[in-house]
Structure 1
């Protein structure tokens, strides 16, 4: 079944057939509008793929949506979180409190969740502020970006690894580790139905955010990981795709390679941008010269922070390929095209 993106007000829980339901859960104040939470039925009880944002309205939508599918929240066996972001992991803890369900996520994201829960708000703000200043953000932008912090998600009970089978009696739901959007992002291959739950890895109309945090790390390559993960998904063949946002669609492999090509084009454009510059640029300056869905001047400080993370990921990928070099100063990192 294929559905199209509609405003949240027009969304309804949907029986996708084969013992799978989609439940739209709102994301208050976010242009994405909602997360599609999936419920997979099994003889041992239903398992959710993601849970939605931690907000009272979102909780009511999840609870009532499951009810309309004939699934009580207290029946839920477990929640598989595709990645730790709050619009996916936020309500997993409340589901666990209601039902005793387990929460599972990849070990790499589980480690980040533990760290987030250990950090005090003051430590988190200090970390963010230092990262933004080193990237070239001004004081007012640093202040606004660090003003708010989403509540950390609940730590998982179980850690997943590439190739694991999820605890879903009578069905075969296999973990496909797809790092990039987060270090521990996973897709889930429901092999008994030729379906792929893609979280934020493969979306039908937009591309997920891929950033480096802190911006100036030189020991990771999330964009390179993301593009390799897209190839990995394409190798699974064309599967019915059930993403966490927008709409379900056929053809996971084709869409994965479209996204791959998009980032190759973006890397070429960034290399051309740097070739026109006479001096090395800070990450913030690079982000300000790149093309986004709105002009840089119209982006909020928070969106500029995300854009800087994505610029950093593309710079790092070019650095790994030997196309650009970095210069570390006392308080800034700058990038230039290699001669």
Structure 2
């Protein structure tokens, strides 16, 4: 997340169920104990029942808010036709399984994120996540003292989806035209959704009005992926929609999705430029952890809790990987992995 996050975030208490017109409703669903506050769940009406875009965090308070909010829109959970999950993260996919149980509807997401969900179910069964995280943090250069507190708790894996959506596919919403737009970066299978009969774009976490989504790489030292470059390419893809209204999963709806996509792309290019300058000034191989400490976050590195430093390291790793792919830095060590400016 960028340094602008804290200043632009709006409280959950200020949100309300909203009729956005053309059979689209916005329902704020809280994320208890999380500073992000809430997820905006959207309901798209159709003759055969509404389809939800995302579902919210798996928590009793969130489920109650979702059910109550839909009720204010005149929608019963039992009538929900299906849930389209923009990506597998728990504040989006967490309640999809409970909605399916209550309605008998389907859950849809992109195959790349469906694969992630299956992997998390396998990991939960093996209970191998703490060891894997410890090894990843150590290879990134985290100190032994930081390792225990930097390990993240694993939320309950979301429900395995019934339907896989490919790029360009129409979602099963009779009487509407809701088209899948694959936008990897924030997650491998993140999707936006173009409501063609209403000329709006549901942007999930891909394009947000006041904050930038987390673009991380896990494990940090992978060489087979480049999520930041994928994200930047996906921003270009969304920019082709021009000044359409954006309906994001957090914060508030806004106009001109293309302009905001351009701002976010510029933000990351600036971060890449600053990181490269910091590495040039250091003039020595840097671990991922040290590189992260040189980047700008929403608070000073010294003030970040170990778990947040771990997330920052994931984002630093993604930026280092893009610099590596562009031929601007190279790896000089493996345990811990280190990077140096390419000579």
State the TM-score bracket (shorter-chain normalisation). over 0.9
Query: Is contact 2:246–2:256 with CA below 8 Å preserved after alignment?
Result: yes
Unaligned runs of 5+ in 2: 1-7
Moved more, 170-179 or 271-280: 271-280
Deviation at 1:147, TM superposition (A): 5.5
Deviations 1:165-214 (A, max 9, x none): 00000000000000000000000000001100000000000000001110
Deviations 1:254-283 (A, max 9, x none): 000110111111111011011011210000
Deviation at 1:7, TM superposition (A): 1.5
Query: Is 1:266 paired with 2:271?
Result: yes
Instruction: State the 4+ residue runs in structure 1 displaced beyond 4 angstroms.
Output: none
SS in 2 for 1:62: helix
Query: Is contact 1:13–1:24 with CA below 8 Å preserved after alignment?
Result: yes
Aligned position for 1:313: 318
Alignment of 1:138-177 (within 5 A): 138-146=143-151, 148-177=153-182
Query: Is contact 1:5–1:247 with CA below 8 Å preserved after alignment?
Result: no
Aligned position for 2:102: 98
Distance 2:269 2:290 in 1: 21
Query: Is 1:58 paired with 2:62?
Result: yes
Aligned position for 2:5: none
Unaligned runs of 5+ in 1: none
Aligned position for 1:243: 248
Deviations 1:80-129 (A, max 9, x none): 00000000000000000111110000000000100100113631111111
Aligned position for 1:14: 18
TM-score scaled by structure 2? 0.96
Alignment of 1:37-48 (within 5 A): 37-48=41-52
Distance 1:85 1:54 in 2: 11
SS in 1 for 2:340: strand
CA RMSD of aligned residues (A): 1.1
Deviation at 1:64, TM superposition (A): 0.3
Distance 2:186 2:30 in 1: 21
Query: Is contact 2:27–2:66 with CA below 8 Å preserved after alignment?
Result: yes
1:78 maps to which of 77, 82, 86: 82
Q: 1:147 to 1:164 in 2, by over 3 A?
A: closer
